[in-house]
Structure 1
Amino acid sequence: MANREYLKLDRVKGDLIVLEGVEGVAYGEILEITLDNGLKRDGKVVTVDGNRVIAQVFQGTQGISTSNASVKFAGKPLEIALSRDILGRSFNGIGKPYDGAGPIYCEKKYNVNGRPVNPVSREYPRNYLETGISAIDSLMTLIRGQKLPIFSGNGLSHNELAAQIVRQASVKGEDSENFAVVFAAMGVKHDDADFFRKSFEGSGVIQRVVMYVNLADDPVIERITTPRCAMTAAEYLAYEEGMHVLVILTDMTSYAEALREISSSREEVPSRKGYPGYLYSDLATIYERAGMIRGKAGSVTLLPILTMPNDDITHPIPDLSGYITEGQIVLSRDLQQKNIYPPINVLPSLSRLMKDGIGEGFTRDDHDEVASQLFSSYSRVQDVRSLAQIIGEDDLSEIDRKFLAFGVAFEKQFLSQKTDEKRTIEETLDIAWDILGILPPEELERLSPQMMEKYYTQR
């Protein structure tokens, strides 16, 4: 039934077309629209209600009327061509090459919707993935196969951070050459897309990067497909080519707003802040595709970036993302205003899988204790700063003044680094011990005597 051609549309509304009397068509199916002048456009079924079908047109409905277009259903969902040749290539939001280097040739095409991973077949992630950024590597360590979102805000330097992670990320040991990055950008401006491309080309990492880019003026339905194309490519590289893949999705807020727009055009009942009630399960269909599968050599590690509207961490998008993922990295507007890059607010940030992927045999024997001490001491810094605002710095005790000095050193020497500065985990931990030397030994209650003797030097 699905290969029939329908010669008349019932309605055209925005980017949607409506057909009545359609049989044998499934949700998510791809269709081809042919205009009287021979031009062709692609679409995707977004609603099936009995024999009534609503489809979204990828290239928009401009020039389409109810009587000048015919529709043919493909009988299958959107599929993309994948091979190892995708490395170093750029694609649009529906997986079509747009770098001028021609199509990808392969024996088999892959459904972008993927397939659910049986939880029993998942392997527990252990080895860490080095980003070269001190705050992340030491305090919220990214583990291979983990889902760790970055919560940002409008105007913060998340684009620079994403580009730096792509340039610097690496895995250690025998797998170091078998590493790739899949980068997907949704709803980005043209200058942001150019920034990412030039950043990867200029640093020479473009040959291990696959880019999927949906621009701000591209169709909304394409934005829904972009992260699914990226995850499908990552699954292929990880589970069929045996590579360790880092996926960066930016910006998931643009994705969720596209989902809200399509939900509204389908006249669905809205939920919190107008988002559809299935936002949680929809995000889960993307996030849960990351991980490691028993018996497969590769891994898919996910870093979704989302901008919190009004810096509100309780907004539905960060709120639901936090439920699905294993921690979060929170960027701070206050730190950005102090010219600290990357402006990572370490206190609300965490990595729930970090404890099993650090320490001797993974990073360094002192990592766990140093991270705990840095959190504890920087937390005390916030209390001392609040007190100083009330009574003034001159009336603080000597210990409190040392904590203030530690806070400045922590932000300026440890957190802050250049956009092209890559630190190894050993360099990061050495900087941490150096600034902990500002504090007297009796204030370092999270460090064992053995570690103090081995690494601690008082300033």
Structure 2
Amino acid sequence: MKKEYLLLDKVEGPLIVLSGIENVGYGEVLDIKVDNGETKKGKVIKIEGDKVVVQVFESTSGISVKNTAVTFTGKPFELELSKDILGRTFNGIGEPIDGGGKVYSSDVYNINGRPINPVARRYPRNFIQTGISSIDGLTTLIRGQKLPIFSGNGLTHNELAAQIVKQAKISEDIDEEFGIVFAAIGVKHDDADYFRKSFEKADATDRVVMYINYADDPIAERITIPRCALTAAEYLAFKENMHILVVMTDITNYSEALREISSAREEVPSRKGYPGYLYSDLASLYERAGMLKRKKGSITLLPILTMPNDDITHPVPDLTGYITEGQVVLGRELFQKNIYPPVNILPSLSRLMKDGIGEGFTRKDHPDVSNQLFSSYSKVQEVRALSQIIGEDDLSENDKLYMKFGREFESRFITQGINENRSIEKTLDLAWEILSILPTEDLDRIDPELIDKYLRKEDYYG
């Protein structure tokens, strides 16, 4: 039976406190009826004896200590889900904001999900093509992987996120369904409009589920929105047998909301004021990606986060790196050269790409070409440092070739149009064309048989 309580102890930021409460559960959802008849939703986040702390999902304005009625529902936060969510747009608590009406379904899911038994997981395999050479060729995204993008304030991560959503596809089994769940956390209205219009222009909306939390929305929604998005992804992947790519931006906004609520709860802070449980909280999101035995679907996670002051040791990227399987790093130096996307390949890494590329997945030469590009571009950095001391004119002929290779690699391989969708074959062919600048004897990371088959010096010198 539902119980109604009429008095609050206090209202503090996004939280309300009640006392004299019995028989409620952690995570239980409640309805909060304010003076003007409006009903808001909240969730129990702390229980101490008969005292309960509630996180309100909407603004606490209008909530008073004396004239507010609180009703506990006896249920956790749940979503009704069906395949009809594809093409729809929802807010941070799963309510439709596209004018399309509520989703009705007998399939009801707790947004906190259920922990996946490690024994039930399948090892991530197979390649997801994003159409972006620097990702497909060098930091390959594998189906079932969690691969974050580390960006910085003012960099082109929004454009990159939109391009990935428009272009991403599974590389094989075209009869299998592919969909995207996109979560925008704490974004400005013009950024949200940019994403929406980009998807519409590319005719991609039918395969995309959008969850949007605006910058002026209550911060409590930022805690809920990634869980709503991941719950939708789990339904589509494991109930509808679809391959789902989840793109979430910006995880830093999520973490800052977590910090603000932790501060309101007067918890002891950890590094830079973030709560001590930031690691486990992020893990509760990231670990929902993957593939299950006896299930055809998969969830691949691409979280995007901005590093304050471009600091990769900041708690959010630092802890994210421990949980996920690599990272794609966007570099400000490349951005200042007007390179898009400004992917800095040297600190970037995909730990699972070795198991999802090569013969049977992409192309036989892919692993060797990737290794050679990393090696040669690393050599470019050494030569550039030397040229700063002695000048480019005094470099050896071999070093001058590396300088040329570096310029071509950045301007032709990394750089591509915002609507340019390259196949993996085109990416690898372009890599061979640029590698042809270097002496053949320097291509020591590539099998000689592959050099004989793919290297065409006339491609460049022609």
1:209 maps to 208
CA contact (8 A) 2:82 2:107 kept: no
Letter in 2 for 1:252: I
Deviation at 1:177, TM superposition (A): 5.0
Bigger drift between 304-313 and 51-60 goes to 51-60
1:68 maps to 67
Equivalent-residue separation in structure 1 for 2:182 and 2:64 (angstroms): 37
Letter in 1 for 2:235: Y
2:449 maps to 450
2:362 maps to 363
Which stretches in structure 2 are left out of the alignment for 5+ residues?
Answer: none
User: The residue matched to 1:139 in structure 2 has which SS?
Assistant: coil
Deviation at 1:40, TM superposition (A): 1.1
1:25 maps to 24
Equivalent-residue separation in structure 2 for 1:36 and 1:191 (angstroms): 33
Equivalent-residue separation in structure 2 for 1:46 and 1:299 (angstroms): 31
2:162 maps to 163
User: The residue matched to 1:147 in structure 2 has which SS?
Assistant: coil
Equivalent-residue separation in structure 2 for 1:60 and 1:362 (angstroms): 49
2:173 maps to 174
1:9 maps to 8
Deviation at 1:43, TM superposition (A): 1.0
Task: Encode CA deviations 1:404-456: one digit per residue, 9 max, x unaligned.
Answer: 00000000010000000000000000000000010011111111110110011
User: The residue matched to 1:73 in structure 2 has which SS?
Assistant: strand
2:199 maps to 200
Letter in 2 for 1:454: K
Deviation at 1:172, TM superposition (A): 2.4
User: The residue matched to 1:329 in structure 2 has which SS?
Assistant: strand
* Within-5 A mapping of 1:373-452: 373-452=372-451
Letter in 2 for 1:28: G
1:313 maps to 312
CA contact (8 A) 1:170 1:176 kept: no
Runs of 4+ in structure 1 off by over 4 angstroms are none
User: The residue matched to 1:452 in structure 2 has which SS?
Assistant: helix
Equivalent-residue separation in structure 1 for 2:356 and 2:421 (angstroms): 20
Equivalent-residue separation in structure 1 for 2:243 and 2:175 (angstroms): 9
TM-score by length of 2: 0.98
Equivalent-residue separation in structure 2 for 1:317 and 1:46 (angstroms): 22
CA contact (8 A) 1:47 1:266 kept: no
Task: Encode CA deviations 1:367-410: one digit per residue, 9 max, x unaligned.
Answer: 01100000000000000000000000011000000000000000
Equivalent-residue separation in structure 2 for 1:421 and 1:206 (angstroms): 19
Letter in 1 for 2:234: E
Equivalent-residue separation in structure 1 for 2:430 and 2:59 (angstroms): 54
User: The residue matched to 1:221 in structure 2 has which SS?
Assistant: helix
Equivalent residue pairs, number: 458
Deviation at 1:41, TM superposition (A): 1.1
CA contact (8 A) 2:133 2:414 kept: yes
Q: State yes or no: 1:290 paired with 2:286.
A: no
Q: State yes or no: 1:34 paired with 2:30.
A: no
**Residues 176/310 of structure 1: CA separation in 2 closer, same or farther (3 Å cut):** farther
Equivalent-residue separation in structure 2 for 1:74 and 1:218 (angstroms): 24
2:227 maps to 228
User: The residue matched to 1:432 in structure 2 has which SS?
Assistant: helix
1:265 maps to 264
Deviation at 1:38, TM superposition (A): 2.1
Bigger drift between 92-101 and 46-55 goes to 46-55
CA contact (8 A) 1:253 1:317 kept: yes
* Within-5 A mapping of 1:295-374: 295-374=294-373
Equivalent-residue separation in structure 2 for 1:410 and 1:36 (angstroms): 63
Deviation at 1:176, TM superposition (A): 5.3
Deviation at 1:36, TM superposition (A): 3.6
TM-score by length of 1: 0.99
Equivalent-residue separation in structure 2 for 1:189 and 1:355 (angstroms): 38
CA contact (8 A) 1:308 1:318 kept: yes
Deviation at 1:127, TM superposition (A): 0.5
Deviation at 1:15, TM superposition (A): 2.3
Task: Encode CA deviations 1:108-142: one digit per residue, 9 max, x unaligned.
Answer: 21100000000000000110100000010010110
Task: Encode CA deviations 1:182-226: one digit per residue, 9 max, x unaligned.
Answer: 000100000000000000011100000000000001011110000
Equivalent-residue separation in structure 2 for 1:306 and 1:63 (angstroms): 33
